[in-house]
Chain A
Amino acid sequence: MNKGKLFIKKLFVFIILLIILDFAIGSVLEHFYFSPKSKISGDNKLYYSLKMTKEDILVFGASTAIHGIIPKIIEDSVGMSCYNTGWNGTNIYFSNTILSSVLQRYAPKVVIFDMTAWELNKEDDDFDKLSELYPYYYTNKSVKEIIDFSGKYEKYKMLSKTYRYNSKLLYILTQNLRSGNTGVQGYEPIYGYWNLDLAEDTMSVEPYDSIKFSYFDKFVTHASEKGCRVIVVSPPVYREYIKDQYSRIEPYLKSKNVEFWNFRNDTSFLNHREYFYDYVHLNNAGAIYYTRQIASHLKKLPGA
């Protein structure tokens, strides 16, 4: 029994030490993650998107957005400032969170949502990319909401300060060595041409996710209520290998007065290898062409 008491005592001390260390190490990581350099120069894209944007036109979306839409071209064409908040591997849950944060600060004149064909499909890993937002959990209401929503135990996991920086170690280490962001106003160009072919076109149909749609609705409604003009664009593809869900939302978009520019069937992109890095991602040349089209559409809008 004596040994038992000793065990419990030691365990207790260990746990206390653990909590203290977690807070200490987490704080150090927090300090370097939010380094002053990144705050000022906007090197930390997520931080910039959530807390610092002032631009008139904001682009939201996933990898097709971040690699496909060039703010500079829009700026030159339309005369309004533009920033691309797109982030690889994300979906509406993520985009909506960023938008929510932005709208708490100001209302951009135009909100462009780059919506892929599979945006409203149910996937196994829908909430996985939210881990990028962990560092902002306690300082951003929208982030806290979506992370709590994503899982029953998430709020307990967030209690660990160190855990919030899971898989960000390399980023923190190299961030202070890098001279700047790899992107330009949020846009990250990719170079190279598509030179292979899929064995067959699968044209798979994935299940529709109504919860994702409800978040899309939140996105659209919130932006509209704040007076933003909401535009949904469907990015061009090299080949259509998955069925899209746009027909489901077209009536909805009409009712909400949202412009829908669908480039998916655009023959000037389909089968044009020179514009594509792979099946669905534009390379820099393709992004230039694509953004120019968006820009000219923008110019044609009443009150542009």
Chain B
Amino acid sequence: MERTEVTDKLTTIFRTTFSNDSLILKDEMTANDVDRWDSLSHMILIAEIEKTFSIKFKLKDLNRMQNVGAMIDIIITKL
């Protein structure tokens, strides 16, 4: 899967999870930049991503997700 495709699918997930239809993902984005993205909603996001991409994360992977860009990179390695 191409990076852009991953980003598109991820954008859909983000928009649903955080109830924000106009959200646009950028690589440098972190939880601080998105309303309602906190430790409480993070796991829901993760579960959705795993379901959508049919992948399984390890706890180690979570620690490496410093921002959206890193998240996309890690998703790609799991595909």
Do A and B come into direct contact in the complex, CB within 8 Å?
Answer: no
Which residues of A does B touch, CB under 8 Å? Answer: none
